Structure 1
Amino acid sequence: MKLLCLDVPQPGARLEKYAPHIRDEVRHAWKLYKSGAMRDIYFRQDRPGVSIIAEFASVEEAREALAQFPLAKVGLIDWEIIPLGPFVNWEILFAPAETGRVGGA
């Protein structure tokens, strides 16, 4: 299952509180990347933080793995996990023009 995972800073989280945990945070990210669970990671451009594209069997499995990030363990971040699916609206390109169907239904 493909997932978009967005970090969510918790109340009182400030960048200086992150500093003691950053090296271990990166190590955990590398472990997830090597395992194939984390496909991509990006710095957010709207605020400090990251977005991760991940592959897990379930949202629950992703939540367990993301909870192991050091910043999550010390309560500085949590995660929003959004399941993703295929964009089936490409089918409209191949449907007869008069049907006007969308959404793959």
Structure 2
Amino acid sequence: MHFLATGRILRPEDTAAHMPEEVRVFDRLRAEGFIQAVFFLQPGPGVVNVVEAASREDAEAKLAQLPFVSLGLMEFELAEVTRH
């Protein structure tokens, strides 16, 4: 299953201290094939990721591994999408 994961930064002023760990976990999820594409929201701050997971629950669990999410600095809204 593919999802558009729209992430909004809730407290941008608190993200800098956690950025190295956020990038590390993000890179791991991308290498695993979970995160397939990344776009930055304009105007930001936020992202839209295309992710692939077995279920919505699996996608939510993987996104929750990101430090910004686990620390309450970011939240994602998921929308299931299909290829044409």
Do Structure 1 and Structure 2 share a fold, with TM-score over 0.5?
yes
Structure 2 partner of 1:94 = none
* TM-score normalized by the length of structure 1: 0.74
Unaligned runs of 5+ in 1: 88-105
Structure 1 partner of 2:15 = 18
CA distance in 2, matches of 1:65, 1:50: 16
Query: The residue matched to 2:72 in structure 1 has which SS?
Result: coil
Query: The residue matched to 1:82 in structure 2 has which SS?
Result: strand
Structure 1 residues 23, 29: CA separation in 2 closer, same or farther (over 3 Å shift)?
A: same
Query: How far off is 1:47 after superposition?
Result: 1.8
* TM-score normalized by the length of structure 2: 0.91
Structure 1 residues 51, 40: CA separation in 2 closer, same or farther (over 3 Å shift)?
A: same
Q: Which runs of 4+ in 1 moved over 2 A?
A: none
Structure 1 partner of 2:9 = 9
Unaligned runs of 5+ in 2: none
Equivalent residue pairs, number: 84
Q: Percent identity?
A: 32
Aligned pairs (5 A) from 1:26-37: 26-37=23-34
Relative contact order, higher structure (CA 8 A, sep 6+): 2
Query: How far off is 1:32 after superposition?
Result: 0.8
Aligned pairs (5 A) from 1:33-44: 33-44=30-41
CA distance in 2, matches of 1:6, 1:28: 17
CA distance in 1, matches of 2:68, 2:16: 10
Query: How far off is 1:61 after superposition?
Result: 0.2
Q: Answer 1 or 2: which has greater strand percent.
A: 2
